[in-house]
Structure 1
Amino acid sequence: MMAVGAISFIIVLLLVIPSVSSPVLSATDSSLSIVEGRFGDSVTLPCDGSARHLPDDQLDVLWKTDQKTVAHYSGGKLVVDSHFSGRVTFPTERILRRDFSIDISSVKSSDEGKYECVVKNEHYLKDVQLKVLPPLFSRSLSVAVNDLVTLPCYGGVHKYEPDKLFVQWERGGDLVLKFSSKELICGPKYEGRVSVSPDWRDGNFSLSLSVTGLRDSGVYQCSSDQKHNVASVVLEVNIIHSDNNKLYFLIFIPICILILVVYVGIAKKQKIHHVKNKIFSQCRWPRNQSHSQEQENNQE
């Protein structure tokens, strides 16, 4: 009987102790939210802190990802990591309402990952998985000879290790461009005509190509290293007649015709005037001569 009573006492004790302890949520206990946003758009990472009954002056809220700080509000001051500088909104008014959601603008592919909302003493409130989608774009482009075209491609980049990136563009098995933090190699047919986006650290792997002729038409493929979220895109580039050439003919040819008409008109006027002067000079000389003869006769 004593053994049964001891066991009962232990069970009751185990049930009572959690009820009087501070409730601590682990990252696994908190519900996981999935937020999706397109490259360049704004997203909101939700975190409800209404259950936390802390005085305003004791509010301490931390958002982190990959064990690094995203934004930290403490003592009325906000500190934002350099990777998110100028892109994170965490208004004090919202925080005082116990809404600990943050806004991230101009989302990059490198922003993708798991984010944690934590309050003072490491109480996890929310886990949010952010997925960054590529912007909407056409997979078939029509360009003119001598145009500069951008072939879009977006992929994943580790926000804190962008230098490990590797990107390669190909067309029909031929190398167009190969890019990494250590080297930039252009294919023999594309020397001096291609470049990669300066925003490659953000996950923008778009290719700029100066089109020189029909030989540039075809299917282009972009891919990144297998160790980093592989991103590939197939684009069809068709060559068409340039609208600039059409505009050139529509404007230049009429101007040339107008100049020619004016020139011919002026030339005709000058020729007519020259003929008139010649005729007048021919007609006037005999008249003057006859008049002088009359004067001589009168004197006689």
Structure 2
Amino acid sequence: QKMMEIPKLKVIKQNLDYLNLDLEKDLQRLDEANQVLLRKIQEKEEAIQSLEREIALSPGRANEREELNHIVFEKEEALRNLESETAKLIKSNKILSRNVVELQKKISRRFKNIDNDKEDLKQMLAELKVRLQKSTESCAKQEKELLKIEGNYQSLHQLCEDQAHYIKKYQEILRQMEKEKEMLLLEKEIFKAQNNSSQIVKPGSILVETIQSNMEKTIIKKEKKIFWYKHFQCGVFMVMIFIRLLGYVLFHLQYINPDLLVDVLPMVMSRDTLKRLREVLLPFLTLEVEEVLPH
């Protein structure tokens, strides 16, 4: 905005200079006109004096004298008007000169402020350059750190892949070892069956019978385990449901409706059963306070 105001102020200054020049020219013209009028007035005065002399010499020219007096009076009024106009113009010229001086002072101040603003802008630009350099350096450092992190990530990824590969190999080795163990166990069982068998049969039939018996035993054991496990799960589930329902009932009886049993039991049981319950529960519900009470 300040940079936009500078050309406007320059234009205003030029206009004021032109106005001062025009006023000076007008004043010069007025001075010249005043001088011309003064000369004419002097000539008229000389003519009047000559006429007065002639009138004094010739009393018959009274009318001409009156006309001349009237003309002189009009000329004097015109001179007075010119003098008043010249005074007004002089005052306006003084006011304009003062305004011009004030504007020049303001313009000089504005130029000084603009110079100060330019210096401030230069300082700001220098600070911004320093900040940009620092930010570029920090960005370069961050890029280096990112490259390091990417390298570490790649190395870790490779290590993870290697570990996964080794784990797969280890699992395959374990499977092979389990298969070998199973084969050894089968061979031991076959050897035991061959030693324990009293009948003379072919080794293939003994192996088949032992394998079938072992498989049946393992299947029966697994079925029993599954059966008891399922029953255990059902029992635990039922116990948990019963405990939760019991907790809900106790909470309801303690905080919501303590008289629930008193309200519900007559609707569910008959009178005979209620009497029996009362007879059974009365000794447990009554308090023995005779020993505590004063006699």
TM-score by length of 1: 0.23
Higher gyration radius (CA):
2
More strand by share: 1
TM-score by length of 2: 0.23
More helix by share: 2
